[in-house]
Amino acid sequence: MALQELSTNRKTLGIKAYQAIRDEIISLQIKPGEMIYENGISAQLGVSRTPVREAFNMLLKDELIEILPQKGAQVALISQQKVAEAQYVRECLEVSTFKIVASMWNSKEAKFRELEDEINNIINQQEQAVAEQNYVSFVALDGQFHEKILSVIENRTVLVVMNQMRAHLNRMRYLELLEARHEQIGIDQHKEIFAAIRANDPSKTEILLAWHLRILDDVRPDIIKKYSHFFKES
Amino acid sequence: MALQELSTNRKTLGIKAYQAIRDEIISLQIKPGEMIYENGISAQLGVSRTPVREAFNMLLKDELIEILPQKGAQVALISQQKVAEAQYVRECLEVSTFKIVASMWNSKEAKFRELEDEINNIINQQEQAVAEQNYVSFVALDGQFHEKILSVIENRTVLVVMNQMRAHLNRMRYLELLEARHEQIGIDQHKEIFAAIRANDPSKTEILLAWHLRILDDVRPDIIKKYSHFFKES
DNA sequence: ACATGTATACTTGTATACAAGTCAACTGAA
DNA sequence: TTCAGTTGACTTGTATACAAGTATACATGT
């Protein structure tokens, strides 16, 4: 994700390791609760323990792992509490921002016309991803849709925070996609939301978005039961 | 700050170094733009470079320093853009949350009565801090007021994010306190906001809070001119 | 059989050694 | 004087060595 570390384009082995491990965690390639070890990862990546340790510290700050002293690092279990908290933060920021974008939108400006093309493009790609049943791609594109709209207000900090929140929401989302099929509903909602934005209708945008962000809530009990070993509180 | 690292109460030298340096940065004891070096800090703290490096990596994630490869680390200049961004995030989260708290408040419950005492206590201490012209204490208490109210919704993630934002807003606040004297206004606003919350009046809470969060905006041009060497964009 | 102590192979935490980039000051030739 | 080249003292980045905590298997004594 191009968001992080745009300070000086410094790409140490530690940062690369961080990004690699983080991707594997939030895409469930490494399972919640799984133990990982500095030695193991460093052998796997062909570097020494030092960069891996740096990566672990960053993951710890993201709350994506827990470090058990002298025992190893455990990939964080999915916490319903944490998911709810991240969802709340996301909703606050995203609703406020989308409303602003809705009130700003002006198709006469080139900037917005470009954006419109890009967003329509994302939506099209999403439909294709659904057709191909490529859920990894689908989730990534879903993120891009939201990010594109957020980016209108030119607030990098919002994107960074949302990125942090998304890390925790993503794993839940993957599980839910494995179970229930509302990708098409999600895409339709994207279209409606984008229409409300283009129509300069902040209130409608707010209502649609709040609904959209909660679409997955009702599936959760099933998920939690089925994958209870991935969850902290179960 | 008890917020961080409640995972396992692990307190490595790296974490201690991080907290120590962070405090010095956000309280302007280390000046924006100042260079700091792993060797220097490690000698100062009496530890090796390793824990200091870990601290630097955490500070980098907070965007409180920039690491210039092979040259050293520079304490981040205060960025007006970053301050505005952090302010926006803060406002979104704090306004939404205070409104919820205002709608929840119920003086009949013991929980709220305890909180009321604690908050009144904070306000009293603030008045004392102003009387003693103890600005460091004043800023800390201001933070506590907001945090106490946020804590009602029991969302640790919100507190963590606010803490991140506060790090960037704090340095600005210190400069402003050196220049303009609206501490008393700030305290009065706290009282009004708290009254609106107790009166279960979310709308009034929102208006008062939004105003409160912007009280410092008009002083900024002076500050930026006077301390221009601390700022990124000037 | 069963508790108890111990060796051993793991882990993370910390210090240190070494590699390589950066910059400034100095040297020496034109 | 001026400018190119070089040395050397800094810096961070990475690897490695060592210290110390943890858990498990196993031997030993009862």
Average pLDDT over residues A90-108: 98
For strand D, which nucleotides have at least one atom less than 7 Å from a protein CB? 10-17, 20-23
Residue B56 confidence class, pLDDT cut points 50, 70, 90: very high
Does residue A3 carry a pLDDT above 90? Answer: no
- How far does B215 lie from chain A, in Å, by closest CA? 21
Q: In the complex, which nucleotide's C1' lies nearest to the CA atom of residue B37?
A: D11
Separation between the CA of B52 and the C1’ of D22 (whole angstroms): 26
Residue A233 confidence class, pLDDT cut points 50, 70, 90: confident
Residue A138, pLDDT score: 92
Separation between the CA of A190 and the C1’ of D15 (whole angstroms): 49
Residue B85 confidence class, pLDDT cut points 50, 70, 90: very high
Does residue B65 carry a pLDDT above 60? Answer: yes
Whether residue A67 lies within 8 A of chain B, CB to CB, comes out as yes
Q: Which of A1-5, A67-71, B213-217 has the highest mean pLDDT?
A: A67-71
Contact list in A for residue B158 (CB cut-off 8 A) is 85, 88-89
Residue A32 confidence class, pLDDT cut points 50, 70, 90: very high
Residue A8, pLDDT score: 64
Does residue A212 carry a pLDDT above 90? Answer: yes
Q: How remote is the C-alpha of B90 from its chain's centroid?
A: 10
Q: Mapping DSSP to helix (H, G, I), strand (E, B) and coil, where does residue B123 land?
A: helix
Residue A9, pLDDT score: 85
Amino acid at A163: N
Residue B159, pLDDT score: 98
Residue B6, pLDDT score: 42
Q: Which residue of B has its CA nearest to A69?
A: B10
- What gap in Å lies between CA A90 and CA A86, rounded to an integer? 6
For an interface test with B, give the residue of A4, A89, A93 to mutate (most B CBs within 10 A). Answer: A89
- Percent of chain B predicted with pLDDT > 70: 97
Does residue A42 carry a pLDDT above 70? Answer: yes
ipTM of the complex: 0.93
Contact list in B for residue A15 (CB cut-off 8 A) is none
Residue B8, pLDDT score: 63
Going along chain A from its start, the domains and CATH numbers come out as: 13-75 (1.10.10.10), 80-227 (1.20.120.530)
* Contacts for A104 with CB less than 8 Å, ≥ 6 apart: A152
Does residue A163 carry a pLDDT above 60? Answer: yes
Contact list in A for residue B209 (CB cut-off 8 A) is none
Strand-pairing partners, residue A35, are: A74
CA dihedral B123, B200, B95, B214 (to 10 degrees): -50
Whether residue A1 lies within 8 A of chain B, CB to CB, comes out as no
Dihedral angle sign, alpha carbons of residues A134, A135, A140, A145: positive
Does residue B194 carry a pLDDT above 70? Answer: yes
- What gap in Å lies between CA B180 and CA A58, rounded to an integer? 38
- The average confidence (pLDDT) of chain A is 93
Tell me the per-residue pLDDT of B116-171, one tens digit each, with 9 for 90 and over.
Answer: 999 999 999 999 999 998 888 999 999 999 999 999 999 999 999 999 999 999 99
- What gap in Å lies between CA B126 and CA B142, rounded to an integer? 7
Q: How remote is the C-alpha of A160 from its chain's centroid?
A: 11
Separation between the CA of B70 and the C1’ of D13 (whole angstroms): 8
Does residue B195 carry a pLDDT above 80? Answer: yes
Residue A28, pLDDT score: 96
CB A66 within 8 A of CB A73: yes
Q: Mapping DSSP to helix (H, G, I), strand (E, B) and coil, where does residue B97 land?
A: helix
Element housing B117 (H / E): helix B110-131
For strand C, which nucleotides have at least one atom less than 7 Å from a protein CB? 10-17, 20-23
Q: Do A157 and B89 touch (CB under 8 A)?
A: yes
Residue A97, pLDDT score: 98
Q: How remote is the C-alpha of A151 from its chain's centroid?
A: 15
Does residue B7 carry a pLDDT above 80? Answer: no
Average pLDDT over residues B79-107: 97
